[in-house]
A and B are shown apart, each in its own frame.
Chain A
């Protein structure tokens, strides 16, 4: 086989490892796929009554795309934890001592995590539709919205790998796991940023999570006040393309650097 052939074969072996984890511990992975559904139901009933949407639309019209974006963010934790555990337990070292492709370790992880996200997203779309959420601008635009969400997940993958390789042990991850929440709240996931106090709104609208949530709403034809009232909001699709690419451009090389530095 060629070098590329081996890289692909090795990547698939690493991906299969995660799929086998799912098979061996189905409860754990199924719970993780339904966790976003839980968030959707909790925040939907918690905040739904207090929300005033134009034309008496359901709050789910705004919330569902927000939870989509939030699910991308929460995926970060899975990546981080898996990477740190492998490093801590010496599994990464064993991979590095094998004649396998070193890129495959990361590629296998990426494929597995994207698959995981795809399933979580599918479960969430089903629930959203059942709760009355709809896309109104046709399937191609809806698919484009899902594409942008997955692009964000792809960018967060590299942040996850970078942090996962950087921290000393799994315990240090707790800090990051806690910090994920304010990042989620300081975005347009739950409310349009234009309805926030000015200074909070400014921070929030530049949050890459907001870009993804607002862009998804734009493409689905779901309501978001910031689409018409702010510059970032009206350019959300552009932002949702640029910000993940920027994050990837920064964190992919950083992760590769960290990986190489394991030998220093």
Chain B
């Protein structure tokens, strides 16, 4: 590969036959650099699964360009499939087979020799902490165990890129932590991962870069920090002891505000540009007015606020 871009997609469009107008992808762009975890974040129906299925050659796009590991997904599907791992939105493993039988079968289908497939299955069972359940039918596994086996099955031959589609949707919090740990482990091994999620927290926790998807289009892209600064301003939060002081403090804060102030109960949030100056000036003004706030803090906007700002719609937290 000449570039370090493992995934490149430009203006990808997809409309499902018989689907609703505008559902699918409407000019989807994405670049993923080798060795990073990119989070594709968007609410239900944003087009995450559609994007993953197109990039993993399961679905044909209507128009646009996309390459994975340097190969065109449309014309060089077989080459792409040799270099990717896919963990679909629904755990795609055989429920009647045991964990070990599943892994050896997928090993054989990845064209490993019998002995090698068996050895690889054992390694993966070990790695994903499934040794004890290896001989049990997958039908008896918990949601978290299934997901881990599913991840293992997609890593039989170390892929250049791993697609993980909504790995924790529908899992309880404990199982979610299990899956996060498993994904982090992959990342420490240097696998390039494209992870989709509807949970901001998950993207914030796992991803180096985030692309925010809405209605089949990426509306913002960057590191979590960049996205948070993209809102333009930080927030100066003031929590007051006495609600009566709210009006005075609001007047003091107004000249510093870079946008609209928010009032929630006894909390006044002021968008500010120059963080340090704002904090010093505000503290001084409060001191002069003889007001002692319960709390005064500077913070970056949360991803929630970024998402709300950029898309006008809420995402699950």
Where the two chains meet, the residues of A that have a C-beta atom closer than 8 Å to any C-beta of B are 6, 9-10, 13, 16-17, 20-21, 24-25, 89-91, 93-100, 262-264
B111 touches A100 (CB 8 A): yes
Tell me which residues across on chain B come within 8 A of A9, comparing CB atoms: 108, 111
Q: Is the CB of A100 within 8 A of B109?
A: yes
> Is B105's beta carbon under 8 Å from chain A?
yes
A-facing residues in B186-215 (Cβ within 8 Å)? none
Number of A-B contacts (CB under 8 A): 75
Minimal beta-carbon separation of A20 from chain B (angstroms): 6
Nearest residue (CB) in B for A85 is B95
A94/B59 contact (C-beta < 8 A), A24-B96, A99-B110 known: no
Within 8 Å CB of A262, what residues of B?
Answer: 58
Q: Is the CB of B109 within 8 A of A97?
A: no
Say whether A91 contacts B92, CB under 8 Å.
yes
Contact, CB under 8 Å: A97 / B94: no
What are 14 A-B interface contacts by the 8 Å CB criterion?
Answer: A17-B105, A20-B96, A24-B97, A90-B92, A93-B86, A96-B57, A97-B58, A97-B81, A98-B106, A100-B110, A262-B58, A263-B58, A264-B17, A264-B59
Complex contacts, A263 vs chain B, CB 8 Å: 57-60
Q: A98-B106, A99-B78 are in contact. Are A6 and B111 (CB under 8 A)?
A: yes
The 8 closest A-B pairs by CB, nearest first: A90-B92, A94-B92, A97-B86, A99-B82, A13-B108, A100-B109, A90-B90, A90-B88
| Residues in A neighbouring B90, C-beta threshold 8 A | 89-90
Report the minimum CB–CB distance from B119 to chain A (whole Å): 17
Contacts of A99 in B (CB 8 A): 78, 81-82, 110-111
Bitwise, B79-93 to A at CB < 8 A (1) or not (0) is 001101010111111
Question: B137 contacts A24, CB within 8 Å?
Answer: yes
Residues from chain B with Cβ under 8 Å of A91 in the complex: 92-94
Are B95 and A98 in contact (CB-based, < 8 A)?
A: no
Assess whether A95 is in contact with B109, with CB atoms less than 8 Å apart.
yes
**Is B98 an interface position by the 8 A CB rule?**
yes
Q: Which of B17, B78, B82, B111 has the most CB of A within 10 A?
A: B111
Contact check, A96 vs B98: say whether CB atoms are below 8 A apart: no
Chief secondary structure at chain A's binding surface: helix
Closest chain-A Cβ to B156's Cβ sits at a distance in Å of 9
Which chain A residues lie closer than 8 Å to B240 at the CB level?
none
| CB contact under 8 A between A98 and B137, given known A90-B92, A91-B93 | no
- Complex CA–CA separation, A195 to B47 (angstroms): 60
Whether A264 contacts B60 by the Cβ 8 Å rule is yes
- C-alpha spacing A52/B88, complex, angstroms: 60
Distance to closest chain A CB from B60 (angstroms) = 5
Given the complex of chains A and B, what is the CA–CA distance between A91 and B97 in angstroms? 12
Given A10-B109, A98-B109, 13 additional A-B pairs, CB 8 A: A24-B96, A89-B95, A93-B88, A93-B92, A94-B92, A94-B93, A94-B106, A99-B110, A100-B109, A263-B57, A263-B60, A264-B17, A264-B60
Does B56 belong to the interface (CB within 8 Å)?
yes
The residue from A21, A24, A94 contacting B88, defined by CB atoms under 8 A apart = A94
**Nearest Cβ on chain B to A45's Cβ, whole angstroms:** 35
How many residues on B have C-beta within 8 angstroms of the other chain's C-beta atoms? 32
Chain A residue with Cβ nearest B61: A263
Which residues from chain A contact B97 at a C-beta distance below 8 Å? 17, 20-21, 24
Give Cα A263 to B59, complex, Å. Answer: 4
Given contacts A89-B95, A91-B94, A262-B58, contact A98 B88 (CB under 8 A): no
Contact A97 B106 (CB under 8 A): no
Q: Does B101 contact A (CB under 8 A)?
A: yes
Q: Is B153 an interface residue (CB 8 A)?
A: yes
Report chain A residues within 8 Å CB of B96.
20-21, 24-25
A94, B153: Cα distance in complex, Å: 10
Instruction: List A contacts of B60 (CB < 8 A).
Output: 263-264
Q: Which of B86, B98, B101 contacts A94 (CB 8 A)?
A: B86
For residue B59, which residues in chain A have a CB less than 8 angstroms away from its CB? 263-264
Would you call B101 and A97 a contact (CB within 8 A)?
Answer: no
Check if A90 sits within 8 Å of B91, measured CB to CB.
yes
**Which residues of chain B have C-beta atoms less than 8 A from A97's C-beta?**
56-58, 81, 84, 86
In the bound complex, CA of A94 to CA of B90 (Å): 10
Look across to chain A and name the residue whose beta carbon is closest to the beta carbon of B81: A99
**Which residue in B78, B88, B89, B109 is a CB contact (below 8 Å) of A13?**
B109
Q: In chain B, what residue has the closest Cβ to A17?
A: B105
B57 CB contacts on chain A under 8 angstroms: 96-97, 263
Please tell me if the beta carbons of A98 and B105 are within 8 angstroms of each other in the complex. Answer: no
A25 to B96, CA, bound (A): 8
CA separation between A165 and B251, bound complex, in Å? 67
| A100 and B86 alpha carbons, distance in the complex (Å) | 14
A-chain residues with CB within 8 Å of residue B56 when the two chains form the complex: 97
Could you tell me the distance in whole angstroms from the C-beta of A19 to the nearest C-beta in chain B?
A: 11
CB distance from B275 to the nearest CB of A (A): 47
**A17 partner residues in chain B, CB cutoff 8 A:** 94, 97, 105
Tell me the bound Cα distance from A117 to B63 in angstroms. Answer: 45
> CB within 8 A of A98: which of B17, B81, B89, B91?
B81
Question: Would B92 and A89 count as touching, CB distance under 8 A?
Answer: yes
